[in-house]
Amino acid sequence: MRLKKLIATVGMTAILMGCQSTPQLVPAVNNPGGDVTLIFERQRSVDLGGRDAQVLLDGYEVCAIPNGDKCQLNTTAGKHIVKVNIPYSPGMFSHTYLFETGKTYQFKISPRNATADYVSAGLWAFVPGDLVIGAAAGAQANSAKNDGLKKDSGDIDNGMLTMSLIDN
């Protein structure tokens, strides 16, 4: 009887952790300044929830975004390399963007494979405390599909997170 109650409690906690709430704006770690505004919003994730998403602009860390939150900063117009990853995990997202003066660019950061995120959350719920199973399911489920993506352009999208530019 206690085991059923424990499984139900852990399962409900995992479900509630995935519920959406209003994203909080976290301050930029480093704000280079300029007339271009960049907004990074991180989608809530169950198995990656305990670790911040690290955003790098031209090799410098600019944001550390907790699960479900967002970060805003300013930079100069021109060509910039934006990278997103989870520190100390394999792979990353990297893309070169050309930002125009006076514009605002909004980005969505999400698990590279959202379906695997929910599958791994289910696995985690049945093996309390073993986040390795969740991370392995999320990383492995879509790796073969995206490894060759954008190879010719120098872009990288082989980490636990991916990022997309939202049309304004």
**Average pLDDT of the segment spanning 3-9:** 66
Model pLDDT, residue 100: 97
Query: Of residues 89 and 150, which shows the higher confidence score?
Result: 89
**117-122 long-range contacts, CB within 8 A, separation 24+:** 117/45, 117/46, 117/47, 117/48, 118/18, 118/46, 120/46, 120/47, 121/14, 121/18, 121/46, 121/47, 122/14
Please write the tens of the pLDDT for every residue from 110-134: 998 755 444 444 444 444 444 444 4
Give the range among 34-48, 90-104, 124-138 with minimum mean pLDDT: 124-138
**Average pLDDT of the segment spanning 11-33:** 74
Model pLDDT, residue 61: 97
